Each structure stands twice: as structure tokens, then as C-alpha cells.
């Protein structure tokens, strides 16, 4: 079957026989976007987290058929060196990554969290950021999440239209 998706703002049509192929492998192997990682294949670690219509989704367990007609954002589409997302800026300022493998998943989960809860408390972070990091970068991540929230709200304040 044919699946049409917007990925990072670009239209893609992929054709494949098994519509239950996880979205992760379509993104990584058919479309060549390697920023989304394979960790467990069972939605247990979160390394494969990306956004489907703005929602954080663990793509290793998300059949591609459900992505038909949807808008998908991966770490490559979140931001880049010339136009980094506030979450990425915060991750750089706090020097969060060690091995780095799980980090795209965490950044995608964080970006989705901040869209829903712009200024999360520690408890809200604990409840919502449930990916696994083996290097143990949680301590810096928490600082980066708070910093990203600050950056994002500052950005929104600047961009809001004024009444004058």
C-alpha cells in the first residue's frame, strides 16, 4: 500500500507491502533519517520518540499505516544548527549528552511536553519524561528542560502581537 506523510514539512509517499511495518524503520531505512533511534522495538525505552501531529509517539511500535496523512516531525525537523529549537539550545548550554544515543528521543519527548505544559514542575517532568538513559544524564536533562521552558516562553512573549 501507499502511505503519504508530511515529514519535517516535506511530502513523502512510500510504498510497502507490510502496512504494519513500524514507522521507525520507514523513517530510518526507507527515508534515511537516522536521528530517530532503535532501542528496544517494544516502546519501552523511548529512543525512537518522534511527533505525529504534535504528539510524542514511540515509532518502533507504531505501524506506518496509522501515519497515513499525518504530519511527522523528527529530531532533524525539530531544529538545526542555524535554527535550533529551544530544547536543543538548552541541551547544548547544559552539555547534556554523553553517548548521545537516547538524546533525540528525550528532546522530542521534551518538546512535546513543553507544548502541553509550557513551564513544567519537577513532578510534571518526572511523570512525563519516562525514556531510558543509560549514561545517567537525567540530572543535566532536568536542568535543560527547565531552561528550555524559559527559552520557549521568552520566545513566545517576544513573538506575541502587541495591542498598540
Partner 1 sequence: MADKESSGNKKVSRRKFLVRGGLGTVGVLAIGTYLFRNPIRRAILEKVNSMDIEYLGSTDNPMLWFELGPANEIILHSPKIEMGQGTFTGLAQMAADELDVPFQNIKVVHATTDTGNIDQFSTGGSTSISGLWQPLRELAATFREMMKLKGAEKLGVSVSDVTVADGRVSANGKSLFYSEIAEGVTSWTIPDAPVLKDINTYRYVGKPLPRVDLEDKVYGTPMFGLDAEMPDMVFGAVVRPSKIGAKYISATTDKAEKMPGVLKIVKEDDFVAVVAESYIEAENAKQAIEVVWETPDNLQQEEIVAMMTVGNGTSSIIQKQGDALEGDAVVQMEFRSPIGAHAQIEPNGVVASVVDDKATIMISTRVIGITRKEVASRLGWDEEQVNVVPTYLGGGFGRRLHTPHAVQAAVMSKAVGKPVKYIFSREEEFQHDMFRPPTHHILKGSLNEQGLLSGLEHHFVSGDVGNNSALIPNVLPTILGADVGAIRGAFIQYTAVPNHRSVYWHVDLPFATSWWRSLGLLANTFAIESFIDEMALKADKNPIEFRLAHIGDDEAGKRLKEVIRTAGEKSGYSEDVKDGKAMGFAASVDAGTPCAHVVEVSVEDNEIKVHKVTVVLDPGLAVNPDQVRAQCEGCVIMGMSAVLFEQMKVVDGSLTPTIYGPYEMALMKHAPKEIDVILLQGKDKPGPVGEPPLGPIGAAIANAVKRLTGKRLQSMPLKLT
Binding residues for partner 1, rule: CB under 8 A, are 17-18, 21-22, 25, 29, 32-42, 44-45, 47, 74-76, 79-81, 84, 88, 91-92, 95-104, 107, 122, 125-127, 129-142
Q: Which is nearer to partner 1, 5 or 27 (CB)?
A: 27
Angle (nearest 5°) at CA 48 between 43 and 54: 95
Closest distance of CB 163 from partner 1, Å = 37
**Cβ proximity to partner 1, 5 vs 109, nearer residue:** 109
Q: Which is nearer to partner 1, 120 or 161 (CB)?
A: 120
CB of 160 to partner 1, least distance (A): 27
Look up residue 110 and give its three cell numbers: 521534551
CB of 30 or CB of 52, closer to partner 1: 30
- Using CB atoms within 10 Å of the CB of residue 43, give its burial: 0 to 12 exposed, 13 to 18 middle, 19+ buried: middle
Cell numbers standing for residue 66: 496509522
Assigned C-alpha cell, 8? 519535517
Does residue 71 sit in helix, strand or coil? strand
Q: How near is the Cβ of 7 to partner 1 at its closest, in Å? A: 13
Q: How many CB atoms lie within 10 A of CB 59?
A: 30
Contact 64, 3 (CB under 8 A): yes
Least Cβ distance, residue 67 to partner 1 (angstroms): 15
| DSSP 8-state code for residue 22 | B
Closest approach of Cβ 66 to partner 1, in Å?
16
Between 32 and 161, CB nearer to partner 1: 32
Amino acid at each position: 500500500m501507499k502511505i503519504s506523510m508530511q515529514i519535517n514539512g516535506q511530502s513523502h509517499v512510500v510504498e510497502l507491502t507490510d502496512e504494519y511495518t513500524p514507522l521507525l524503520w520507514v523513517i530510518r531505512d526507507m527515508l534515511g533519517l537516522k536521528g530517530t533511534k532503535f532501542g528496544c522495538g517494544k516502546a519501552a525505552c523511548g529512543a525512537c520518540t518522534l511527533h505525529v501531529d504534535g504528539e510524542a509517539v514511540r515509532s518502533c511500535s507504531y505501524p506506518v499505516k496509522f501515519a497515513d496523512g499525518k504530519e511527522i516531525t523528527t529530531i532533524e525537523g525539530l531544529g538545526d544548527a542555524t535554527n535550533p529549537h529551544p530544547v536543543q539550545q538548552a541541551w547544548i548550554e547544559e552539555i547534556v549528552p554523553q553517548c548521545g544515543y537516547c538524546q533525540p528521543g528525550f528532546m522530542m519527548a521534551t518538546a512535546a511536553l513543553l507544548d502541553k505544559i509550557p513551564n513544567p514542575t519537577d513532578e510534571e517532568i518526572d511523570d512525563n519524561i519516562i525514556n531510558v538513559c543509560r549514561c545517567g544524564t537525567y540530572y543535566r536533562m532536568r536542568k535543560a528542560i527547565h531552561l528550555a521552558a524559559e527559552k520557549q516562553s521568552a520566545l513566545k512573549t517576544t513573538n506575541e502581537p502587541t495591542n498598540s
